[in-house]
Amino acid sequence: MTDLPPSAKRRLEQYPRVTIRSRAAWRRWLAQHHADSGPIWLVTYKRSTGSSYVPYGDVVDEALCFGWVDSLPRTLDDERTMRLFSPRKPGSPWSQINKRRVAALIAQGRMTPAGLAMVDAAKRDGSWSSYDAIESLSVPDDLAAALRRSPQARGYFEAFPPSTKKAIFRWIASAKTDATRAKRVAETVRLAAQNIRANQYRQPKGASAARGGRGAAHEASCSRGGA
């Protein structure tokens, strides 16, 4: 993941935190707030804490039931982690794994009208299937053409692991304008020629020590959830 500009980091820090100790508590919170809340940091306890641990798959499934989706994960402290959850944006692509999760949730009768409405909208606007080519590792035409012009970049790119290729394809596909897309294609090829993977965060030397301990400084109690 590429590093974020300071303004984006500040905005992330301002999102409220919701702490849960059970899957049922998360579902109750979503039932009450899914339609009137923006992004939140969902705080959960690590497996080592015992009964308070809620598996990642469980929190994602409940979010999908209400039309929400997860994104950024963070370690909060020795006992807790947090992950950013928000209502899914209309037109945002669906990954294969989330589509499989939704199919299982529908079969179990767990999807709510809000979640089903999001699925129906995605099927109508095409975002339900927009990642299918990415999941099959089909190289976009513009990137394929650019790689053909640089045999060295093409050779290195073809050796990248599937997960890296998919991340790059999604990054290119998420460009809002043709100009941005062209820049991302060019950067992918330029970096691939050096055997570097585009859209990967590369931490500056010495940055790790400088950042140590910042997480605790930003702790602000904002828990609207229940146990």
Are 97 and 146 contacting, i.e. CB atoms less than 8 angstroms apart? Answer: no
What pLDDT shows up at residue 8?
74
150: CB partners within 8 A, 6+ apart: 189, 192, 193
Cα-to-chain-centroid distance, residue 110 = 22
Q: Token match 């585009």: residue?
A: 198
In degrees rounded to 5, what are phi and psi of residue 40? -140, 155
What pLDDT shows up at residue 3?
61
Can you say whether residue 18 is alpha, beta or left, with left for phi > 0 and alpha for psi between -120 and 50 degrees? Answer: beta
Reading the chain (227 residues) residue by residue, the pLDDT tens digits are 446 677 777 888 889 999 999 999 999 999 999 999 889 999 999 999 887 999 999 999 999 999 999 998 999 999 999 999 999 999 888 988 999 999 999 999 999 999 999 999 999 999 999 888 888 899 999 999 999 999 999 999 999 999 999 999 999 988 889 999 999 999 999 999 999 999 875 544 444 444 444 433 333 333 444 43
Are 25 and 226 contacting, i.e. CB atoms less than 8 angstroms apart? Answer: yes
Beta bridge partners of 19: 43
State the Cα–Cα distance between residues 52 and 185, nearest whole angstrom. Answer: 44
Can you say whether residue 133 is alpha, beta or left, with left for phi > 0 and alpha for psi between -120 and 50 degrees? Answer: alpha
DSSP-assigned letters across all residues of 136-195:
TTPPPHHHHHHHHT-HHHHHHHHHS-HHHHHHHHHHHHT-SSHHHHHHHHHHHHHHHTTT
Predicted TM-score of the model (pTM): 0.69
What pLDDT shows up at residue 226?
40
State the Cα–Cα distance between residues 219 and 224, nearest whole angstrom. Answer: 15
